Chains A and B, each alone.
With several copies, the nearest count.
Chain A
Amino acid sequence: MIDYSYDIEMVKGRIEKGIRTNNRKDDEYREIKIETGILKNAAGSAKVTLGKTMIYAGTKLEIGTPYPDTPEEGGITVGVELSPIGAPEFYAGPPSETSIELSRVVDRGIREAKTIDFKKLLLVPKEKAWFVYVDIYVMNHDGNLFDACQIAAMAALKTTKIPKIDEDFNQIKGEYAGNLKLEKLPVLNTYSKISNKIILDPDLNEDYATEARLSIAIDDNLNICALQKGEKGFFTQEELKEIIKTSKKKYKEMRKIFEKL
């Protein structure tokens, strides 16, 4: 097991002195590894490790009825499961509020960047369209689940195949009509504020010591497409500016990872 014996005060002291584990810089990600296409029953799948945080994501496509206010569009649903496998503090049962926030932040980053053109998922106006389900499992929690889950979702989506269907709209098992097209490649960056310092990609110890958290999604045009502040602390306007500048800088680096998939 990872050793979490040192306390929050020690983490704070180290952060104040500019020391992170493995000499990481404040705006540096831990090592990211991605494997895709690993699960046959999934339409798309990925295993992502961000340092020691480990995520599995899988997608499924199902035909459903478009919503009345968007009769020519399909849709997407993102769910994050804090599997009891991933940490002693996770438990089996209905989604916690932490899991719901995580799901919704990942969902919004992808949705607001217009990553998927929902009109392309239409099969019959008002009647039939593809709905994409992204299910994300946290299998080892060593901090920054937001970014790790977003990367896993993007990797699974980017490698998702659209099933072939017959004239009755039944999926033909094991046959595919093509790949799901991602129009945009948004990147999510999550920052922790600890002792008035802002650090990117907090690990678990840093998570515990976090006073305020900010997740920011950046799109292909280096615009902000989603923001979420969390925890009981605060940010100043200057800190937000600093975070946005860092995120724009990080965008290209992270985009390369998605492009390679």
Chain B
Amino acid sequence: MVKKRVDGREMNELRPIKIVPSVIERADGSAYLEWGQNKMIVAVYGPKEMLPKHLADSQRGKINFIYRMAPFSVPERKNPKPGRRDIEISKVVGEALSHAVLLEEFPGMVIDVYVQILDSNAGTRVAALTASSVALADAGIPMKDLVTAVAVGKANGNIIADLNKYEEDAEDAVDMAFAMLPGSEEIVLLQADGILSEDEFDKAIKIAKEKCQEVKKLQIEALKSKFKALKE
């Protein structure tokens, strides 16, 4: 008998993902993303002049990445003010995104990337990163590649892809946020909590890389369908 996960998925099966670019009229680029129960909107504004000017870098542009969760997006109502978790995620996900963008083309400028989580069930940061690179492409920002992200980890003794909240609460749960540039396999995001042996880590990375290629196809399809729609 083949073991399955609580929601019927295979060990390395992703939850259903839906990506729709160009959903916010006033933004320079945007994307709506569903990933299992997770729902979010990303908007990109810029490149534009960095203000106040003393924060600008005369050599290259900057990504200002802001991740926020709505009060109703989690089981217990969240305070509307950004918490320490929001700020940490904004920092590391923004850094991961920065690697892909050709920032040297925007000296002294900033690109604002805002993510609003509307509903959540584990894995919002990798979903946000995946959606953000679609929104950047939608905005026409030059990038060396998309950034593609997945969570991998461990629950109940199995190394699995794309944990849900129930699995994240397992006694032995490990949640690992992973992102790479799918062309070069350059790893730009890696955050993990929980106990993993070296072998388990290797296995998790292997799955993560495979799954990123799968997610990348969805990103490309979403962008293609937009440009197709534009042509028609």
Contact = CB atoms under 8 A, between A and B. Distances in A.
Contacts of B192: 224, 226-227
Contacts of B148: none
A60 B189 contact: no
Contacts of A103: 84
B130 interface: no
Interface in A206-235: 214, 219, 221-235
B187 A88 contact: no
A228 B45 contact: no
Contacts of A141: 26
Nearest to B90: A97
A82 B84 CA distance: 16
A236 interface: yes
Nearest to B92: A230
Nearest to B78: A60
A59 B30 CA distance: 25
A253 to B, nearest CB: 18
Contacts of B42: 85
Interface in A87-146: 87-88, 92, 95, 97-98, 100-101, 103-104, 108, 112-113, 133, 135, 137, 139-142
A112 B118 CA distance: 28
Given A40-B119, A108-B193, A133-B77, A2 B25 contact: yes
Nearest to B176: A227
Contacts of B197: 223-224
A52 B24 CA distance: 9
Interface in B98-147: 98-99, 112, 114, 116, 118-121
13 contacts: A38-B119, A41-B120, A92-B114, A98-B91, A103-B84, A133-B77, A137-B116, A221-B195, A223-B198, A224-B192, A228-B191, A229-B92, A229-B188
Interface of A: 1-2, 38-43, 45, 52, 54, 56, 58-60, 62, 79, 81, 83-88, 92, 95, 97-98, 100-101, 103-104, 108, 112-113, 133, 135, 137, 139-142, 173, 214, 219, 221-237, 240-241, 244-245, 248
Given A60-B72, A227-B192, 12 more contacts: A2-B25, A41-B37, A52-B25, A54-B24, A62-B77, A86-B24, A92-B114, A100-B91, A112-B194, A173-B75, A229-B92, A233-B188
